[in-house]
Amino acid sequence: MSEPEDTLGVASTMHALEFGQAKTQAADPIANASTLAASAEETAATAASASSAVSRYRRVESLGVGGMGVVERVWDNDLMRNLAVKRLRPELRSNSSHLDQFLWEARVGAHLDHPNIVPVHDLGVNAEGDVFFTMKHVEGTTFAELIESLQGADGPDLPLPSRLRLYLQLCNAVDFAHAKGVVHRDLKPANVMLGGHGELFVMDWGIARPCGGSDNSWMRDSFPKTLRHGLSGTPQYMSPEQARGLEVGPSSDIYALGVILYELTSLRCPIEGETIEEVLSHVKAGDYVPLREAMPAVSASLAAVVERAMALEPANRYARGSDLAKDIERVLDGRTPEAETTSLAKRFQRYWTTEDQARLRPMDLDFLILSGIISGIALGSWVASAVSGWEWALLIAAGVIGLPPLVQWFRTTGKSRPLGDFRGD
């Protein structure tokens, strides 16, 4: 049987195993498991000849061409599934700098084992000498394509709360990468893929760099020299320190998350300019149109979250992606995020006008404790002067008996109370 013309030139493991098993059974028709195991060495030796007969990966279509690599969709003949394969461009294979950067991208992807990060499965060299790695093939749309479609009249029905819930997956993926000692450095809507079932994936870790996380000593040693200096990233999504060419850490990714959140909310990028130099100048100065000017209907709570994530100074941003995610969850619940400074009266209003059955949460305790102290002092002063001993007993009994039903009623009538709209005050 001749090899299909459009293949990646990688040996099929299944074909090699079947070839070795067929040879063994031809010699001994009643070969058992131990006999087959004994032939493992011979089976491995036949893999080279098997590769000329059947290739493991069959090319299906081209998915794109980048500065260093070619990405294709292939069919895995062994595991019977679609995969994406990225190959180093042939003219670059002899360039050690490009090879180091290509291998770095593959190893970082393999290192980050998270549901919202595209997994890398294999790394190798095909029969033509091309270096490649395989990864999950994601069918869907990027955040950039989603935002563009939402700008049109015929865009998908995806309201802001639904977009924010998708955004939570992005925050969690970035938080995981930071915990594993990796800073992405090029977070942007074009590098976030949304699958057909609501699953989200962070793509393209090619210019990532190691940071102070755990288990990354090998990363510091193998980090390509070409990525250690100079500007790297997309200007509109760079942090101010990144635009200045300074060394960046996790807070730089937090800034990029803030830009994406701004764009996902208002459907426009906060940083604009006619030239790259103009864009970088705005980024360095923290000069952008505030979210509530770009979208007056948005709530002060969500605007405060964006402003904290996009703070000019790294120390003023969220410390972790998970902290940003928690504030988004508070906004979605109609509660006050940590990034927003507001009055007790506003907290009280949100507390009573938000549909939230689990109300007794830590951030509400400040208000509840203060209210309880004031009410207790007032009630105690009145009781001490106006109530006799036996009346005291009646009040305590009434409280013990009546409080649980009151709390239960409060929790079960949440849906009958007016629902606060987090998109505006």
Q: What is the mean pLDDT of the chain?
A: 78
**Nearest-angstrom CA–CA distance, 19 and 54:** 11
User: Tokens 């294709």 identify what position?
Assistant: 72
**Nearest-angstrom CA–CA distance, 325 and 175:** 9
* Residue 182 CB coordination number (10 Å): 25
Is the pLDDT at 193 greater than 60? The verdict is yes
267, 291 contact by CB (below 8 A): no
Q: Encode pLDDT of 161-170 as tens digits.
A: 999 999 999 9
pLDDT band with cut points at 50, 70 and 90 for residue 419: very low
* Closest to 184 in 3D by CA, of 289, 82, 114: 114
**Quick one: average pLDDT of 184-212?**
90
- CATH code for the domain defined by 13-136: 3.30.200.20
Residue type, 260: I
* Given the residues 186, 204, 327, 356, the one annotated as active site: 186
254-270 b/e (C-beta count within 10 Å ≥ 16 → b): bbbbbbbbbbbbbbebb
Q: Is 186 a catalytic residue?
A: yes
Q: How far apart are the first and last CA of the chain?
A: 71
pLDDT of residue 47: 45
pLDDT of residue 315: 95
Q: Encode pLDDT of 294-307 as tens digits.
A: 999 999 999 999 99
Domain range list for the chain: 13-136, 140-341, 362-416
Q: Kindly report the length of the chain.
A: 425
This prediction has a pTM of: 0.73
Can you name the CATH fold of 140-341? Transferase(Phosphotransferase); domain 1 (1.10.510)
Dmax (CA) for the chain in angstroms is: 106
294, 268 contact by CB (below 8 A): yes
**Quick one: average pLDDT of 92-109?**
86
